[in-house]
Amino acid sequence: MSIKRGVSLYSYQQAQFFKQMNWKDMIREVHDNLHTDGIEIIDEATIRDYPFPSEQFIFDWNNEMARWGMKAVTMDIYLDVHQFRDHVMTHAEAAERLKNDIKIAARLGFENVRCLCMVPIDVIEMALPTAEKYNVRIGKEIHAPLPIKRRLTTAWVDPFLDYRMAQQIMDLADRTGSKYVGLVPDMGIFQHSPTRVSIAYRKRHTNIPEAVDFVVENRFNYNMDEMLAKIQEKYPGSDLTDPKSMQGLMLRKSSADPEDLREIAPYIVSIHGKFYEMTEIEGQPGHYEDKSIDYVNPIKILKECGYTGYINSEYEGQRDQQDMGYENLPNEVEEIRRHHEMLTRLCAD
């Protein structure tokens, strides 16, 4: 058994937006051209009239998945704490949303739900009996800038992201003995440098584009405060003044260490194959890589750990190009095909 490949339909969000592909087209693309079966969805993007999908939708979904022999791996779910607007959602209400999402996932045949990094651990614990009853695992995402275990980066980290999160989940699983709670690492935690598409976007939306190049080229030489001062010195009047929005350009090191996968491997529910741009590897025609994210080491370690679950492509580079005309929009289908060339090659036994 080797690592399995799948696609989060999130990857085709632009094609869906422009109505070039619907979810059935996406499933066919995965089946016909990627020659694999793993499907992940964003509940609020794919499920018409969430959280009350019609019986017709549920029938259509299960029918289409069965028709092509596809596997409903993970359904990505959310926590909008202002849904009720007159009060902040309580943890009990958040647990109710999670339980309801688990029930929807079960009806659509999903094995797992992916909840967000910032879902409190007590909310997950409250929903655990429902997960067990409906045979759907809850996987909490480990998303950049979170580490897996040890904090690697000294960069700004969102104060509401708790870096002990992976440990809390493993503790809950161990304490309850439940197999229904685990982790969904996002490969974005192994992103070690700014993406070409995000740099280009930033250059199109700043008053002195050269300042962006300066930041990227000199990001190892200065800390954030020094960099902000340096920019104003070299490019007076530059609007690059907000440290939070500079984090991406200043990225020097991934937020997680691939070695830390060893400890969490038994708890991994599925993996998000985040990527931004697939380019041909020099001297290797037909072989592709994302230059900003390390896939080689994490996959090597996952194989050594005996991980045989899914890595589901999660293409996100389109977002940084939608300020341009149609002719400049990236081709999601092609990007994902390239990503699967890489996954197939790296995951092979």
Partner 1 sequence: MFDQYLIVKNSLKNDIMDGKAVGFQFQVRIADYRGCFLSLHNGYYIEVDGVKYPKSLQTFEINGRPPRTFEEIKTCVWEHFNYDDAGIVHVAKEGGLEPGSHHIGLQQSILAQYGYRGKQDEEWVKNPPEPGTGAGAGKTATICYFDEVLQDA
Residue span binding partner 1 (CB under 8 A) among the ranges 110-118, 126-134, 165-173, 231-239:
110-118
Least distance in angstroms from the C-beta of 49 to partner 1: 6
Least distance in angstroms from the C-beta of 139 to partner 1: 15
Query: Segment 190-209, which members bind partner 1 (CB under 8 A)?
Result: 205
Q: Residue 80 class from Cβ within 10 Å (0-12 exposed, 13-18 middle, 19+ buried)?
A: exposed
| Count of beta carbons in the 10 Å neighbourhood of residue 134 | 17
Looking at 58, 79, 157, 265, which residue binds partner 1 (CB under 8 A)? 79
Least distance in angstroms from the C-beta of 169 to partner 1: 15
Q: What is the DSSP string of 270-327?
A: -EEEEES--EEPTT-TT-EE-TTB--HHHHHHHHHTT--SEEEEEE-GGGGGTTS-GG
Q: Applying CB under 8 A, what is the total number of residues that bind partner 1?
A: 41
Query: Segment 299-338, which members bind partner 1 (CB under 8 A)?
Result: 318-319, 322-325
Looking at 7, 13, 251, 278, which residue binds partner 1 (CB under 8 A)? 13
Tokens matching residue 56: 């017709």
| Count of beta carbons in the 10 Å neighbourhood of residue 302 | 24
Phi, psi at residue 160, to the nearest 5°?
Answer: -95, 0
Residue whose CB is less far from partner 1, 2 or 245: 245
Residue span binding partner 1 (CB under 8 A) among the ranges 58-66, 113-121, 279-287, 289-297:
113-121
Looking at 58, 81, 155, 301, which residue binds partner 1 (CB under 8 A)? 81
Phi, psi at residue 236, to the nearest 5°?
Answer: -55, 135
CA distances from 61 to 44, 115, 256 (A): 15, 21, 36
| Using rule CB under 8 A, residue 121 touches partner 1 | no
* Of 274, 289, 266, 277, nearest in space to 335 by CA: 277
Q: Residue 340 in contact with residue 5, Cβ under 8 Å?
A: yes
Least distance in angstroms from the C-beta of 289 to partner 1: 24
| Using rule CB under 8 A, residue 120 touches partner 1 | yes
Contacting positions for partner 1 (CB under 8 A): 10, 13-14, 16-19, 42-45, 48-52, 78-88, 116-120, 159-160, 205, 318-319, 322-325
